[in-house]
Amino acid sequence: MDSVPEALPYGLRLKLLGSFFIIIISLAGLNGYTLIRITSQDRVLSKRVDHQIELHSIHSSLQGMNSHISNYIRSGNEEYIISFRQEFAAVTKRLGVLGLIADEKEMKDSFRDLTAMIETYRERASALINLYNDGAETIYVWESELDLLNLSGYIREELEELNSLFLDNLQSFFLTFKMQMSRSLKINISFVILMILFCYVLAWNFSISVSRPIHQLALELIRFGKETEHVDLIIPQRKDEIAVLFRSFNEMSKHITGQIEGIQEKAELEQRLKDREIQHHQTEHLLKESELALLQSQINPHFLFNTLNIIDSLSSLEEAPRTGKMIRSLSDLLRYNLVMQKRAVPLEEEIELINSYIHIQKTRFGEKLAYSEEIDPEVLKTTVPALILQPLVENAIKHGLEPISRPGLISLKAVKRDNEILIEIIDNGCGITAERIDEIMDTDFETKSMGIRNVIRRLELKYGKPCLSLSASDNSGTICRILIPA
């Protein structure tokens, strides 16, 4: 990469500076002459324009005074009276200034009439204010206000007449000013023609030595902006700023092209990573869905075959009526499983399923099995994942009550506590050890308690956190607690 010279030749700069110096001096002389002519006229014009502005300000202040008076008699706010007096003082001051500079008899007479009308306006405005303050009837206040507005209209007419006089005076001044400016314009045009000829010669020489290579550089910049491909210009054989521009353009083109290629590669890499991340999330979601479906499907045959074994044993020991009751309970269970394809059910349906299941188990255990419920009515309509209670009751009977000879009791409790629902399944069976609890809760540990393990996993998938806990009760037996959001 060629380095930029520490100092450049002054040929191009001296040529440009010299030409510009001649032009600037010439234009400065012309402008100085014109400025002297215009400055004297500008002072007069400024004064006359100021007069017009003062007249317009008086007109605006008059409207403001009308507005303040109207607002005051409608609201009684003293601030409008203060504003009215300030506006009136400003109008009086402006009239005094304009009266002093009036230079024609007609204009002085108009100022005298206008001053008298303004004074009358002040007196009538004061009378209107006093009338309102004395609590006069509204109709008299409105009539006085209308009279004041009519007087305001006459004042505006007088202002317009005075403004017309000022405009006539200003028109006369402009005619004189126009003639003077016409002479100055002829002189300026002649000088400008000479400067145009000089600039044309200068521009022609500048175009050959400077403009042509810059034009070439501009075309290459446009092409580079559209195609973004590296462009390598041929550096002209000269030692001035133009050569530096060409050399810098080549380096810039090379650098930008490299930057664009790097950005494109980075964008492609980020897009591939983003696509992979989306695929990963989709795959993870599908895996969770599949795992949830698998865990639910594992519960149905687990209980179904146990029940069928009970019915098979019972049919050989008893008559058909009891078997019929058991089959009806089993039908309820099967029906629930068939419609369980939805992901959540009311807690009330889960409790009804427990009742059917207990009826079947009572047929097997008889008086050895007792069941009780303590259900808060507020929680019955709460939706929960299907088949989360039956596997727990089944586990309590199988592992808690079957091994003991004394009568067993299963208690189901459900209450609402703050913003959560607590469900407890309590048995008075043989109890559970801390080691056994750790085995069941450890998902990496293989266990035969598939029913309770499935419930644990499904609750975590549903609520995103552990919701089930196991503990030994004080009087032997086991307590299974489920804590879910209300």
- The CATH number covering residue 101 comes to 1.20.120.1730
Which residue, of 187, 204, 221, is where some domain finishes? 221
Residue 480: closest CA among 352, 390, 349, 359: 390
Exposed/middle/buried for residue 432 (C-beta within 10 Å: 0-12, 13-18, 19+): buried
**245 within some domain:** no
**2 within some domain:** no
pLDDT value for 329 = 67
pTM of the model: 0.39
Q: Are 199 and 289 found together in one domain?
A: no
pLDDT value for 445 = 66
353 CB-near residues (< 8 Å, 6+ apart): 332, 333, 336, 387, 389, 390
Which residue, of 205, 221, 237, is where some domain finishes? 221
Helices (H), 6-134: 11-75, 78-101, 105-133
Give the integer Cα–Cα distance in Å for 194 and 187: 11
User: CA of 164: how far to CAs of 43, 55, 412, in Å?
Assistant: 21, 11, 103
SS3 383: strand
**3 within some domain:** no
pLDDT value for 358 = 92
Exposed/middle/buried for residue 349 (C-beta within 10 Å: 0-12, 13-18, 19+): middle
DSSP per residue over 271-335, as a string? HHHHHHHHHHHHHHHHHHHHHHHHHHHHHHHHHHHHHHHHHHHHHTTS-HHHHHHHHHHHHHHHH
Domain boundaries, position 302: 281-485
Q: Are 86 and 176 found together in one domain?
A: yes
Own/partner contacts of 93-102, CB < 8 Å, gap of 24 or more, are: 94/54, 94/57, 94/58, 94/61, 95/58, 97/54, 98/51, 98/54, 98/55, 101/47, 101/51
Give the integer Cα–Cα distance in Å for 84 and 62: 9
Q: Are 285 and 428 found together in one domain?
A: yes
Give the integer Cα–Cα distance in Å for 51 and 46: 9
Number of structural domains (the chain) is 2
Q: Are 196 and 304 found together in one domain?
A: no
**264 within some domain:** no
Q: Are 71 and 156 found together in one domain?
A: yes
Q: Are 22 and 93 found together in one domain?
A: yes
Bridge partners (DSSP) listed for residue 423? 414, 482
Q: Are 173 and 303 found together in one domain?
A: no
206 CB-near residues (< 8 Å, 6+ apart): 16, 19
Q: Which two tokens stand for residue 195?
A: 């400067």
Q: Which two tokens stand for residue 3?
A: 């380095």
Q: Look up the CATH number of the domain holding residue 361.
A: 3.30.565.10
Q: Are 336 and 353 in contact (CB under 8 A)?
A: yes
Per-residue pLDDT of the chain (486 residues; tens, 9 = 90+): 445 455 555 556 666 777 777 878 877 777 777 777 777 767 767 776 777 777 777 778 888 888 888 888 888 888 888 888 888 888 888 777 776 655 566 667 777 777 888 888 888 888 888 888 888 787 877 888 888 888 888 888 877 777 777 777 777 777 887 887 788 788 888 888 888 888 888 778 777 776 677 777 777 777 766 665 666 666 666 666 666 666 776 777 777 777 777 787 888 888 888 877 875 675 365 345 545 544 554 455 556 546 655 665 566 566 655 665 666 666 666 666 655 555 688 999 999 999 989 988 988 888 899 999 999 999 999 999 988 999 999 999 998 999 888 899 999 999 999 889 999 999 999 999 989 998 888 876 666 667 788 889 889 988 989 999 999 987 789 999 999 998
Residue 233: closest CA among 214, 217, 215, 257: 217
Q: Are 351 and 430 found together in one domain?
A: yes
Which amino acid, one-letter code, is at 24? I
**How would you classify the pairing of strands 383-385 and 344-346?**
antiparallel
**49 within some domain:** yes
**113 within some domain:** yes
Residue at token pair 């006459």:
154
Give the integer Cα–Cα distance in Å for 10 and 20: 15
Which residue, of 186, 221, 256, is where some domain finishes? 221
Q: Are 114 and 154 in contact (CB under 8 A)?
A: no
Residue 285: closest CA among 113, 461, 36: 461
Q: Are 194 and 293 found together in one domain?
A: no
Give the integer Cα–Cα distance in Å for 324 and 344: 30
Q: Are 299 and 182 found together in one domain?
A: no
pLDDT value for 480 = 95
Residue at token pair 């353009």:
249
Q: Are 451 and 392 in contact (CB under 8 A)?
A: yes
pLDDT value for 448 = 61
- DSSP letter (8 states) at residue 378: G
Give the integer Cα–Cα distance in Å for 299 and 356: 16
Q: Are 209 and 296 found together in one domain?
A: no
The helix-helix angle for 212-227 and 241-315 (nearest 10°) equals 10
Residue 26: closest CA among 181, 206, 198, 207: 198
The upper half-sphere exposure of residue 253, i.e. CA atoms within 13 Å in the direction of its Cβ, equals 21
Q: Are 189 and 56 found together in one domain?
A: yes
**386 within some domain:** yes
**237 within some domain:** no
- DSSP letter (8 states) at residue 400: I
Residue 147: closest CA among 89, 68, 90, 66: 66
